[in-house]
Structure 1
Amino acid sequence: MMTIKTLACAAALSLASLAAQAAGDHSHAHEHKPLHGGVVVEASDIDFELVAKAEQITLYVRDHGKPASTAGAVAKLTLLSGADKSELALSPAGDNKLEAKGSFKTGPGTKVVATVTLAGKKPVNVRFSLK
């Protein structure tokens, strides 16, 4: 039969383990640096790099530092620039990128919310703030 002391010790160890995981205490074998001059955000263990220009928006995808396939992926972006709000769809445009071409209001301070669904995966929401 377990004693109260044993149960308390087990509970304390479980809580400490959960706290470390919640704090993001995990090691990476890769860095989160931009490779294309954009803004990098990690979500669901995947790095998303957003490169936003007035005529083209590209989202690069890396999984543990390596290019992730965007074949069959779909993505939607919401751009918030001051009082302006616009939405656009991104399409696969190469091995690890999604892209849209057109005329976009981007610049420092623009907030971007991306919903990305890679083939066979659950949707991931990613938030960017352009510099």
Structure 2
Amino acid sequence: MAEIPADTLRAMISDLDGYIERRAAELAAPIVAKAQEEAAAEVQGARGLQQRAEDLNVELRRMLKVRDRQVERARERAEHAEAAVARFRAFLNDDFRQWCSPHGVAATYAERLIEVLDREVKAGGGDPR
């Protein structure tokens, strides 16, 4: 068997290394391309989910603003109603009770009205005074 010169062996090894690298790149290319497509699809899906979350956030904030306005109006109405009840109670206690009526009927009636009013206010969680 003849001896192969070292330069020739080095050249053959270098050629073989180049061939292996090219062949590996050729075989890996479709796998890499598929992985890139899958990653791109996942990114697109994530972007869609993110956009949906942002849209839901905007809608939720809009709904909360509407609800906040409704709560504020209800609070204002409740305050107005409480003030009206307080004025009515004061009227019964201070004015109606003093009306002239035979046998003190107005005073008794005023006391009964105040009792009913106080009971209803207290049942609603309010302070009757």
Normalised by the length of structure 1, the TM-score is 0.30
Q: Which has the higher contact order (CA 8 A, sep 6+)?
A: 1
**Bigger radius of gyration, 1 or 2?**
2
Greater share of helix:
2
Normalised by the length of structure 2, the TM-score is 0.30
Greater share of strand:
1
